[in-house]
Amino acid sequence: MSTQGADTMDKASVLASFMTRARSEDMTLAELIRLAESLNGLGLGGEAGDLYRTWLAYHGDNSLRHLAWFNYSVTLRQQGDLAGAINALRSALQISPLFGPAHINLGRALEDSGLAAQAIAQWQVFVQATPDITADKVGHKLMTLQHIGRTLENGEQLGAAEDVLRAAMELAPDKTEAAQHWIALRQRQCKWPVLAPSEHMSRRQMLSAISPMALAALSDDPMFQLAKA
């Protein structure tokens, strides 16, 4: 038997053993992800997807199965199966409706499908479902708001985009990305003063967030511009 033939048989044997383990009750989620990632690393995305599907079929009562659906969706996207990824993400959200990463990725998948309005609606579901944000959810909500603002701006809905970005920057004043984008958007609309007062963000924080290019249109102080650059 040739070396190539032996390698093929060894690969088939390993894959068969993975599938057998996936059907057993003692395969943990951590082991599933580890094995699937090893397959992905070898360029065997299809086999990784089969492994996720098999595990999900036999672990319907696992309390963390939404994480398996989420990782499965990532594998499907890497394989170019956008529709499959959307279905996997929706399955994750049926199990865990407040799972932020699934909302974010589902919105991105819908946007990449040319469905910007549905993407915005999906992100807004998460924003509206998390009015009382806890520390561990700030990052997900902030990212969701920024995606909404970006998509609205791309659709020339500048006023709505500005409102969403303001909400994002006030949610996390120490994160400069949303404020930087908000300031640039107000300049684009010729809204003056650009640095509109906020109860949740100081003028100093806004100045710290502004980009050097945006500052050039606001101040001719060379030392200020040099410090920002």
Tens digit of pLDDT for each residue in 157-207? 999 999 999 999 999 998 899 999 999 999 999 999 999 999 999 989 998
Is 102 buried (19+), middle (13-18) or exposed (0-12) by CB count in 10 A?
A: buried
What span, in angstroms and rounded, lies between the C-alpha atoms of 201 and 209?
11
- The reported pLDDT for the residue numbered 153 is 96
Q: In this predicted model, which residue has the larger pLDDT, 64 or 5?
A: 64
- Over residues 117-167, the pLDDT tens digits come to 999 999 999 999 988 766 566 889 999 999 999 999 999 999 999 999 999
Q: How many CB atoms lie within 10 A of CB 144?
A: 24
186 within a domain of the structure (yes/no): no
Number of domains in the chain: 1
Question: Residue 8's pLDDT is what?
Answer: 54
Reduced to 3 states (helix: H, G, I; strand: E, B; else coil), residue 221 is coil
Which CATH number is 66's domain given? 1.25.40.10
Longest Cα–Cα distance in the chain: 78
- In a domain, residue 157? The reply is no
pLDDT of residue 109: 98
CB 105 within 8 A of CB 89: yes
Query: What angle separates helix 100-112 from helix 116-129, to the nearest 10 degrees?
Result: 170
Considering the domain boundaries, does residue 128 fall inside one? no
pLDDT at position 135 is: 57
For residues 186 and 214, give the distance between their C-alpha atoms in angstroms, rounded to a whole number: 10
Query: Does residue 144 form part of some domain?
Result: no
**Residue 107 amino acid letter:** G
Q: How far apart are CA 31 and CA 210, in angstroms?
A: 45
Please state, in angstroms and rounded to a whole number, the distance separating the CA atoms of residues 92 and 34: 19
The confidence score (pLDDT) of residue 5 equals: 44
For the record, the structure tokens of 162 come out as 């500005």
Q: How confident is the model at residue 4 (pLDDT cuts 50, 70, 90)?
A: very low
Alpha-carbon distance values, 62 to 25, 32, 160, 182 (Å): 10, 13, 41, 42
Mean pLDDT of the region 95-99: 95
Contact 98, 129 (CB under 8 A): yes
pTM, full prediction? 0.83
Residue 89 is assigned to a structural domain of this protein: yes
**Structural domain contains residue 141:** no
45 part of a folded domain: yes
Strand spans (E) along the chain: none
Look up the domain containing 81 and give its range: 1-96
pLDDT band at 226 (very low <50, low <70, confident <90, very high): confident
As given in the structure block, the two tokens for residue 13 are: 């044997």
pLDDT value at position 3? Answer: 41
What pLDDT digit, counting tens, does each position of 19-42 carry?
Answer: 999 998 889 999 999 999 999 999
Tell me if 146 is assigned to some domain.
Answer: no
Of 62-66, 87-91, 167-171, 218-222, least confident by mean pLDDT is: 218-222
